[in-house]
Structure 1
Amino acid sequence: MEHVVEGMVPVIENSGWLAPLLFIFLHVFRQVFFIPVVIICLLGGYLFGIVYGTIYSIIGLTAVSIVFYYIVKAFPSWLEKLSKMKNKWLGEREQLNLAQIMILRLMPLIHFHLVSLYLIETTKDFREYCKYSFYACIPPALAYTAFGHIISELPLQVGLAFVCMLAALFYFVGKKETQYKWNEFFETKST
């Protein structure tokens, strides 16, 4: 993994106007080399700065989501296996809102494609999936590009505290529903 990233840095740096395109393709093909999203977004901040690195990472992450959509739709047996894995990790939850999905994308322990799979299952069509995928790619692209270097050098305790904070934020942003028991809602007559 390190050799791939180290080898790609000079190639992208010396490619001139093709550099953004190569960087976006690196996002799309990063899963083949088992490179985490954080590393690629960090690289974008290093090569292009915060603004352009974030823009190129958003484009790359959205492209990855679109490619994943077509691969999963082309191989329905994979969709079934991945759905079982998603249910194991996320459980049979109620509908997550966009803010929760964005927070899940920020969590380094939640796989990128697990969230994409959730979006495939909960959106009504490809266009809605692309819209939600685009919005969900903004926070990790921005955070990892701008703060990735700082986050990656944090001590383990601070990193775990960050993940706990995101988990608490995920919980509090969720829909709050009130459930009533039958006998609380309807008064029963006592005879």
Structure 2
Amino acid sequence: MEQMNHSIELFIDHSGWFAPILFVLLHIIRPILFIPVIVVCIAGGVLFGFVEGAILSVIGLSAMSLLSYKIVYRFPKLHDRIAKLKQRVFQDRTMTVSQVMVLRITPFVHFHLLSFYLMEMTKNLREYMYYSVLGVIAPAIVYTAFGKAITGFPWYMTASLFLILALIYYLIDKKNKLDIQVD
């Protein structure tokens, strides 16, 4: 295992400017390969370090979000299938952009389904990309910096982290409902 890590580090060192491009491309093709976002972001932290790995993950996830937007609106049947899946998963649930951003941090909610939710919440590509880029910053930072540590935590620590995220989601939802009632 240590030899493999050394080989990967040597490859990155000798790849120069090409390695970050490959990493961003990996983010773009990640959905086709069925690789979870968290795995690629963790790899970015291991291979490039925290700062560069997080920046490259934000770039890659943003490019993937743009491509997803273009594909979903270019193929109406795909749009309809994802809309049906969204309906089954969220069941007419109304969420705020903040809630979508919190859910993007949790690895159990499908990243592209949340992107689709965001697509339907926004008016155009520009607004979608604005919120999408804001929404990928937190997961890129969290997964790059703490992803490796989170996967090494005992089950009760991981469960505690997800309970905290669920509590944050609940509090945002409660605040949103109170704001709606006040208006």
- Fold-level match, TM-score > 0.5? yes
For the pair shown, the structure with the greater C-alpha radius of gyration is 1
Q: Percent identity?
A: 42
- Corresponding position: 1:44 with 2:44: yes
Q: Is the 8 A contact 2:42 2:144 kept in 1?
A: yes
Q: Is the 8 A contact 1:27 1:40 kept in 2?
A: yes
> Matches of 1:146 and 1:101 in 2, distance apart?
21
- Give the structure 2 partner of residue 158 of structure 1: 157
- Give the structure 1 partner of residue 168 of structure 2: 169
> Matches of 2:145 and 2:23 in 1, distance apart?
16
> Matches of 2:104 and 2:60 in 1, distance apart?
14
- Give the structure 2 partner of residue 33 of structure 1: 33
CA RMSD of aligned residues (A): 1.9
- Give the structure 2 partner of residue 136 of structure 1: 135
Q: Is the 8 A contact 1:12 1:23 kept in 2?
A: no
Query: Structure 1: 5+ residue runs without aligned partners?
Result: 1-5, 181-191
- Give the structure 2 partner of residue 55 of structure 1: 55
Change (3 A) 1:14 1:30: farther
Structure number with higher helix proportion? 2
User: Larger deviation: 44-53 or 125-134?
Assistant: 44-53
> Matches of 1:73 and 1:13 in 2, distance apart?
39
- How many residue pairs get aligned? The number is 173
Query: Structure 2: 5+ residue runs without aligned partners?
Result: none
TM-score (norm 1): 0.84
> Matches of 1:90 and 1:14 in 2, distance apart?
46
Q: Is the 8 A contact 1:13 1:47 kept in 2?
A: no
User: What stretches of structure 1 move > 6 A for 4+ residues in a row?
Assistant: none
Q: Is the 8 A contact 2:23 2:56 kept in 1?
A: yes
> Matches of 1:133 and 1:9 in 2, distance apart?
31
Displacement of 1:14: 3.0
> Matches of 1:80 and 1:161 in 2, distance apart?
36
TM-score (norm 2): 0.88
